[in-house]
Amino acid sequence: MALLEVNGLKVYFHTRDGLVKAVDDVSFSVDSGETLAIVGESGSGKSVTCYSLLDLLPKPPARIEGGTAMFDGVDLLSCDANSMRHFRGNDIAMIFQDPMTSLNPFLTVGEQLIEPLIYHPDKTRIQTRSNARLRAIELLDEVGIIEPEKRFDCYPHEFSGGMRQRVMIAMALINEPRLLICDEPTTALDVTIQAQILKLIKQLQQKRNVAVIFISHDLGVVAGIADKVMVMCNGTVREAADTESVFYRTENDYTKKLLAAIPEGPKVMETRAQAGAPLVEVTNLKTYFKDYSKGVAGTQKRFIKAVDGVSLHIQRGEILGLVGESGSGKSTLGRSILQLAPITEGTVSFAGTQISGMSPNQLVPWRRKMQMIFQDPYASLNPRMTVYETLAEPLLYHGIATRKTIDEQVQHLMDDVGLARANMRKYPHEFSGGQRQRIAIGRAIATKPELIIADEPVSALDVTIQAQILDLILNLVERHNLTMMFISHDLSVVRYISDRVMVMNKGVIIETGDTESLWADPQEKYTRELLKAIPLADPKLERERVLSRSL
Amino acid sequence: MDRVILEKTDERGSSLWQDAWVKLRKNRLALWGLAVLVILCVVSLLTPWIAPYGYEEQDLILGATPPSAEHWLGTDIFGRDMLTRIMYGGRVSLTVGFIATGVALIIGVLWGAIAGFAGGRVDAVMMRIVDILYALPFMIFIVLLMVVFGRNIFLLFFAIGAVEWLTMARIVRGQVMALRKQEFVEAAYSLGLSQWIIIRRHIIPNTLGPVIVYTTLTIPSVMLLEAFLSFLGLGIQPPQSSWGLLISYGVETMEEFPWLLIFPGLTLSLTLFALNFLGDGLRDALDPRTSKD
């Protein structure tokens, strides 16, 4: 018998808008030393499935309507709160998506780590503080934290995202769980860090023979570590099989759709770049921010060099991809070009005119020619303005539409970005993420700009939606003769969309090249590492890569 | 010219307020609140014509009597009709409540929005001014005002408005500072919209929730503040009256003549309830994220 056997699990949400079948008749099993990946888009019920096992769902509105979950002979769904506490963080541990918010900022990392050891519900297993400390340091070392004795007394903000996730993993392992549930543990991390964390999870699993449930929206990520894959959609299981059959021999339409949506492989195409003078020319651009944090010798004026001497040009009609990990300065570079961030040094020219150093008033006529698409479609739309108002605002402000033509022009814009006209009077919260990003794109193209800087426009979206938005962007670029700078941390997306790619790290451009030649033959070590870290949606190749990557 | 065009958009794009009205009409409690407030205001307006007695009509021989057929809410120690005095008091209290709060609202929201939006040095200077005014002892401030300007009702509005806007400015500033970092504000900026339009169309509407709640809390506290000021001699003087004054006199004679406290107190509570229900309703109605049904 498997370690965990879930049978016919049903979780319904009783909301004011009616019944939502979040999980509907889901069965699976996972055994010690085995990794089950649950893959699905947002709203597929993959997280709800696992949360219900540990009784972590808000009830109401959630209600478990049926099914059993036998863990080592005990039904998790029917046991009371006390025995559930016994399982939680003990036999079953969980790793959450966002390492930034899942640690308490007011307690040292060490204090949080030993908490489960010294405040254990099972009195016989309580350890002394010094023993617990030793155990925690041992674990920190095991998850690859350098100088664990020193780091034990540090606060979470002194750790980077990847390091925090390691701490979370150490915390999950401290009571020797037999089942580890990872809820998108690498989604918030950079691609190189993701590779390290995946390797760590794989190694720890092999060493300790634990069962792992790995939740992810990304099929590519799980290829290398999963033994079995369960694909979920709208609360039901679409496919459940061993990893090879899912990736190589799937018959399921939905799985095929997910696999097809992963932007991958070379795209043979003519470059869109037009000859002639470049549309944007940036020379030796530097953007520094003042750092007010206190140094050792009191408050000193220091600078964070977000962009440190970047020169680039963008030809008319081309899509220039800009990749880099978080903190590389890529977003600041985009904002600096648009004069949204204050430039410390250097010049930016647009269509032959120098726009850096212009006053806000002088910039107004230029602003309509260069627009931005933001990452988070939830934050980039005013929640109190309808689609109509959001789209009409730039049109009216720049005198592109008159009061008579505005209705028609807004409707055109909505057609352009693939939104139904009937939605005109709705507010942003009534739309899904993908639809919101369409509204944001509509606002950006409303003024008929020549340049669009897209800052991670698809990073917050599900993979199938991501593919749709990328196609929409490509379509619009061609139809409206746009020039684009496409910023992303996701190399596969950049490869899919760009003519030329720049790699940025620590404020400087590491390497620039045509997309395919850069992929085929990266010149710099950093670029090679970055490319190597991308997970492939191919289990055979990926399995070896996962473990071969250096930590 | 830009201004003109945007004024026109407002007309079309007033859907936030239209939707809010549609939603408010479905909120029974808020409608009751609104109705009570409207009735109170109308009664106050018409008081000189509909009040059963004159507000200074005394009947010293009668003295304080409990509610009766002639005097529905009883009389005070001078034999003055309580109903009449509450009606006349409402004129003062409601005017002070709404105007002083209105003043505080306008100054506070604009001050806070500008400070929060501008940030940096402008913000520092503006908020230090707020801090200085906060630190000024209210009593000394009032005494100074009285010495310089003498007693009059507009001074009352001014004095109350001058203290009440400070908290409002702080609340709004905090909201705006959080909003300023939001991408939709940056998007508006990158569209080339002027700062004033960004503040008016993108920032202020998004601060409405806490502002409305705080406003509904301010109005009753302003009414009580007026009583305190009147008690000190600023504001209004007997035989004129206000709810706050009636309550404070009522407290003195609470044991012998409880109706002198109960009725003005009930009126003020009723107003307070009405305001709170209306405020809650407005806050929900102005938030598009609450459902339309």
DSSP states of A47-110 as a string?
HHHHHHHTT-S-TTTEEEEEEEEEETTEETTTS-HHHHHHHBTTTEEEE-S-TTTSS-TTS-HH
Which band of pLDDT confidence, cut at 50, 70 and 90, is reported for residue B291?
Answer: low
Residue B214 lies in a domain: yes
Position B292 scores a pLDDT of 47
A411 CB-side CA count, 13 A: 7
Torsion sign, CA atoms B77, B79, B84, B88: negative
Q: CA A410 from chain center: how many Å?
A: 31
CA–CA separation, A410 and A415 (whole Å) = 9
Partners of A63 in the β-ladder: A12
Task: Write down the CATH number for the domain with range A1-91+179-260.
Answer: 3.40.50.300
Q: Does B196 touch chain A (CB under 8 A)?
A: no
Q: Is residue B236 part of a domain?
A: yes
- Asked if B189 has any chain A CB less than 8 Å from its own CB, the reply is yes
Number of structural domains chain B divides into: 1
Locus of tokens 């009195």:
A123
Range of the domain at B220: 98-288
Q: Nearest residue on chain B to A397, judged by CA atoms?
A: B2
B54 within domain boundaries? no
Give the contacts of B50 (CB within 8 A, at least 6 positions apart).
B43, B87
pLDDT classification of B39: cutoffs 50, 70, 90: very high
Helices B153-180 and B204-232 sit at what angle, rounded to 10 degrees?
Answer: 150
Q: Kindly determine whether residue B183 and residue A399, on different chains, have CB atoms separated by under 8 Å.
A: no
Its sign, for the CA torsion A442, A446, A448, A454, is: negative
In this complex, the residue of A381, A388, A394 whose CB is nearest that of residue B13 is A388
Q: Do B193 and A397 touch (CB under 8 A)?
A: yes
Please give the pLDDT value at position A292.
59
| Binary contact (A368, B5; C-beta < 8 A) | no
CA max distance for chain B:
76
> Do the chains contact at B191 and A384, CB–CB below 8 Å?
no
Q: What is the DSSP letter of B139?
A: H
Cα–Cα dist A285/A308, whole Å: 7
Q: Is the pLDDT of residue B11 over 60?
A: no
B27 and B285 in contact (C-beta within 8 Å)? yes
A393–B192 CB contact, under 8 Å: no
CB nearest A379 (choices: B5, B184, B287): B184
Contact of B15 with B62, CB cutoff 8 Å: no
What B104-107 contacts at long range (C-beta under 8 Å, 24+ apart), as own/partner pairs, is: B104/B160, B104/B161, B104/B164, B104/B165, B104/B168, B104/B218, B104/B222, B105/B165, B105/B168, B105/B211, B105/B215, B105/B218, B107/B161, B107/B165, B107/B168, B107/B169
**Strand order from edge to edge, sheet including A451-455:** A370-373, A451-455, A483-488, A319-323, A500-505, A508-514
B125 pLDDT higher than 90? yes
Greatest alpha-carbon pair distance for chain A in Å reads 79
Distance in angstroms (rounded) separating the CA atoms of residues A224 and B36: 68
A370 contacts on B by Cβ (under 8 Å): 190
Owner of token pair 């070392």: A141
What average pLDDT does this structure show over B167-196? 87
As given in the structure block, the two tokens for residue A467 are 């593919």
Over its C-alpha atoms, chain A yields an Rg (Å, rounded) of 25
**A409 to chain B nearest CA, in Å?**
14
Q: Do B190 and A375 touch (CB under 8 A)?
A: no
Q: Does B118 touch chain A (CB under 8 A)?
A: no
A338/B197 CB distance under 8 A: no
Indicate whether this complex's ipTM tops 0.85.
no
Instruction: With beta carbons less than 8 A apart as the criterion, state whether B166 and B141 touch.
Output: no
Size of interface A-B (CB pairs under 8 A): 107
In a domain, B200, yes or no: yes
pLDDT of amino acid B128 = 93
Residue B61 pLDDT exceeds 50 = yes
Contacts of B287 in chain A (CB under 8 A): 384
User: CB-CB: which of A367, A383, A385 is closest to B190?
Assistant: A367
> Are B236 and B92 in contact, with CB atoms under 8 Å apart?
yes
Q: What is the pLDDT of residue B50?
A: 80
Q: Which residues of A touch B (CB under 8 A)?
A: 16-17, 338, 340, 360, 363-368, 370-372, 374-376, 379-386, 388-389, 392-394, 396-399, 403, 406, 425, 427, 429, 440, 443, 447
Which of B176, B183, B208, B282 should be substituted to probe chain A, the one whose Cβ sees the most A Cβ atoms within 10 Å? Answer: B183
Tokens of B248: 């404070």
Report angle CA A393, A394, A400 to the nearest 5 degrees: 115
Q: How far apart are CA A457 and CA A381, in angstroms?
A: 13
Whole-number Å distance between alpha carbons of B3 and A324: 41
Distances (CA, A) of A63 to A3, A60, A267, B121: 24, 7, 47, 53
Q: Check if the beta carbon of residue A460 is closer than 8 Å to that of residue B183.
A: no
Written as six digits, the tokens of A128 are 């002394």
Q: How far is CA A5 from the centre of its chain?
A: 30
* CATH 3.40.50.300 residue ranges for chain A: 1-91+179-260, 317-344+355-548
Within its chain, how far is the Cα of B228 from the centroid?
16
Residue A132's Cβ-side half-sphere holds a number of Cα atoms within 13 Å equal to: 18
- Per-residue burial over A188-226, b if 16 or more Cβ lie within 10 Å, else e, is bbbbbbbbbbbbbbbbbbeeeebbbbbbbbbbbbbbbbb
Q: Do A374 and B186 touch (CB under 8 A)?
A: yes
User: Could you list the pLDDT tens digit for every one of the 551 residues in chain A?
Assistant: 688 888 888 888 887 777 778 888 888 888 888 889 898 887 788 888 888 888 887 777 778 888 888 888 788 888 777 777 777 777 888 888 777 777 888 888 888 888 877 776 666 667 778 888 888 888 888 777 778 888 888 888 777 777 788 888 888 888 788 888 888 887 777 777 788 888 888 888 888 888 899 988 877 788 888 888 898 888 888 888 888 888 888 888 888 888 887 776 666 567 777 778 888 899 888 888 876 555 455 555 677 788 888 999 999 989 999 998 877 888 889 989 998 888 888 999 998 888 888 888 888 888 889 999 988 888 889 988 888 989 999 998 888 888 888 889 999 889 888 888 888 888 888 888 888 899 999 999 998 899 999 988 888 787 788 888 888 998 898 888 899 999 988 888 888 888 899 999 888 898 998 888 888 888 888 888 888 887 777 777 777 777 776 54
Q: Is B172 within a domain?
A: yes
CB A506 within 8 A of CB A329: yes
Number of H helices, E strands in chain A: 20, 20
Does B193 reach chain A within 8 Å, measured CB to CB? yes
Among the residues of B136-258, which ranges form H helices? Answer: 138-149, 153-180, 183-190, 195-197, 204-232, 243-252
The structural architecture, per CATH, of the domain A317-344+355-548 is 3-Layer(aba) Sandwich (3.40)
- A192 SS3 class: helix
CB spacing of B191 vs A368 below 8 angstroms: yes
Residues of chain A contacting B190 with CB distance shorter than 8 Å: 338, 340, 367, 370-372
> Prior bond to B210 cis, omega within 30?
no
Strand A228-233 relative to strand A35-39, pairing: parallel
Q: What is the CATH number of the domain that holds B115?
A: 1.10.3720.10
